[in-house]
Structure 1
């Protein structure tokens, strides 16, 4: 078995704490401190070179000259924003696993990095022979990778390590039929409300009704001829599903509004039951109450960030056009850069459902889809057990507590339980908003299938337009939505 070098850990940790420097040709180790073989820590004899795409370790031949020497070639796919940190962490791994004393084997590693995350599952499923050994992916793609036979199951100590160190919601993102197939990297995929705290209060943004009222009142004070607005992408299923996900959260024993089985790729839904119909009419009310349209932008905050800014292109103070928007943790840096301390965040608002008779019903909390980023290990089988073992170790190094803490400033919210308790993370008001919304969220990976998105877009687009076929209402479109995503088991 391997004994991890304490010296190797300290050396790499010091480099990480010193900050991430340039990429090409970066040597993250020192030369061997002794030319005499057979003594000292193995890390003293390991040289690690980092280029733009590779981490290569070599072990001085003076170390254990009688040992068997093997070269191990591995590959990692992740988003490019993480490469510099990940490559340094892998450099640490190559030192810690350079020597197996039980079998007297010296290992030299070449680990190649690729820039892929969003389309990882699609690319691997298309050609398994091109798959890397370790790869990041969104948790809602786990079924694609599982059905392609790409994922090595986490068992024994690997499974315990992942489950004990990460929040349950992130662990569930890599779980299929009770078996775990990936290591959680983050628990930050989800939406919440951003708002300008110079102009609006927390009470102002508590409900859609109070938001519209506050925007109307503020618009009367403007001198630029604009209306103050909220932006929300009603045609996007990731967002418009929020009107339905929260409908039953306070009803004990209620069937899930959306349920997806990754193993069978089948989905069920209760979206068009009575409460779902009331929610659809509530969504319709927001969009089509006379005058409301002046204060609502149907769109994605990502494409309208400049309208949140309190400064013009020359840096002069202005009153932002958009005061409220729904987005996720991926936009934190953009909002902070635009508004500094003037930006706040909280859970999604409530809204007013409407009965079939037109009665305004008690407030309903908007829910959301919660997701995580995962890291999988390529299933290789017994013939390449050693390579699969090293792949699991790399995945653990890249998802462990200290890596997640160091990755947090890059815009990745931790899934590691201890990392979430780090002072810098706990003070993050945006992660706090995500956590607050989390009590009304459902796991995306076990809730919706690939058929969901197009059907949700069609429904949302129809409600925004408000132009239904003759003799139909929003409920008919809701029924069509349910039929499209769960043809064998709609309500």
Structure 2
């Protein structure tokens, strides 16, 4: 056999072996991945998102997603006590960010980081700046503008009527109807104190609150606001209700404060008479003062101790992408944070979205610790009931403020 034939046979053998070797390497075993999710949204919706995620990545991994309820109280405290029992995916509102970040429980989102930032309006939008620390992104936004505004029934009220709470109460009382608002929740109680220029917010570290509702030095003192709320609660046309939409159902409530989550159900009740707008003004010391409000954002983050960081980040991105933000709005009415999703036709056609945009100019981001909720809610309930024990208002506010600011 001449040398040329030997070389040809050798080359063919090498090529064959190389191809065989490459063929073996191309057979990649699918990963087995389990992700636990602490949910904070409609379970059927999230299950559908999870099923679609599993289907999308079925050629890369065998993925199981387990949905569970988030801890009733602080996620940070729960993880502190049960570090090995945390979910991989954490849903949370913006007021929990500082606690989770300071405890080191959030994994930086590095994959597609700049795309996520751009999709949600850029680095300096509030929804993004809330979750950026030292140039790192610590969660993906899923909703923006989780706030409240005024719904009203055009059968009884017109656009001019609803500019002032005094007018709404007068008309409601004359018609034996009600304006309703949940004063048993500190989330809504804030709207009066905040509107009058008083504050309640967490310190920069998110470890305690700084509240001045007992102020005697501001233009409007704390007792001025408390008295204004007592004047409202004494009106024939006022009712404090945990679920005001129930009053809309039986036609006893013609205007109430709520958010976009009630829009679809209310549309079925009031039909073409449904209207929505910013909150009205209320009377403080003879002045008309615009009601404020809390608003906030919801996020999905990844636990820093997860065993599947890459897949957990992919899932966080998945549930926060354009398609799922639009789908979330269709199901829950929650406004998208994704700027393109916000421009979707189904979103822009909602009066609730327009009203939320109007009210956002007068609202502040909810940023309080857990110490805020119980005393602020008890204050609202006390004033809604007309201060039945006749507690001195300054004393009442001093006690409430001390509890809110407790360290």
- Give the TM-score category using the shorter length: 0.7 to 0.9
Task: Identify the match of residue 475 of structure 1 among 381, 394, 402.
Answer: 394
Question: Match for residue 231 of structure 2?
Answer: 288
CA contact (8 A) 2:225 2:284 kept: yes
Secondary structure of 1:297's counterpart equals strand
Q: How does 1:324-473 map to 2 (within 5 A)?
A: 324-354=255-285, 360=286, 362-380=287-305, 387-411=308-332, 412-444=334-366, 447-467=367-387, 473=392
TM-aligned CA distance change 1:261 to 1:183, over 3 Å: farther
Asked if the contact 1:188–1:329 (Cα under 8 Å) also holds between the matched residues in 2, the reply is no
Instruction: Please name the residue that 2:142 is paired with.
Output: 185
Closer/same/farther in 2, CA of residues 237 and 280 from structure 1, 3 Å limit: farther
Backbone CA RMSD of aligned residues: 2.9
TM score, norm. by length of structure 1 = 0.69
Contact kept, 8 Å, 2:234 with 2:386, in 1: the verdict is no
Which residue is equivalent to 1:272? Answer: 214
| 1:486 partnered with 2:402 | no
Cα distance between partner residues in 2 of 1:75 and 1:309 = 41
Tell me the alpha carbon deviations over residues 206-257 of structure 1, each in whole angstroms, 9 at most, x when there is no partner.
111111122234x1xxxxxxx1111112232100110122334xxxxxxx82
- In structure 2, the CA distance between the partners of 1:64 and 1:389, relative to structure 1 (3 Å rule), is same
Query: Do 2:89 and 2:312's aligned partners in 1 also have CA atoms closer than 8 Å?
Result: yes
Is contact 1:207-1:349 (8 Å) kept? yes
Residues of 1 paired with 2:219 and 2:209: CA distance?
17
The answer for unaligned runs of 5 or more in structure 1 is 1-37, 39-62, 99-106, 220-226, 249-255, 311-319, 355-359
TM-score normalised by structure 2 residue count: 0.82
Give the Cα separation in 1 of the matches to 2:389 and 2:155: 44
Task: Judging by fraction of residues, say which structure has more helix.
Answer: 2
Are 2:199 and 1:257 equivalent residues in the alignment? yes
Which one has a bigger Cα radius of gyration? 2
Structure number with higher relative contact order (C-alpha < 8 Å, ≥ 6 residues apart): 2
Asked whether the equivalents of residues 195 and 289 of structure 2 are also in contact (C-alpha less than 8 Å), the reply is: yes
1:32-181 alignment runs, 5 A limit:
66-77=26-37, 78=39, 79=41, 80-91=43-54, 93-95=56-58, 98=59, 107-117=60-70, 119=72, 121=75, 124-155=79-110, 158-167=112-121, 168-175=125-132, 179-181=136-138
Shift of 1:330: 1.6
Q: How many Å separate the matches in 1 of 2:229 and 2:214?
A: 19
Structure 2 counterpart of 1:25: none
- Three-state SS of the structure 1 residue aligned to 2:87 is coil
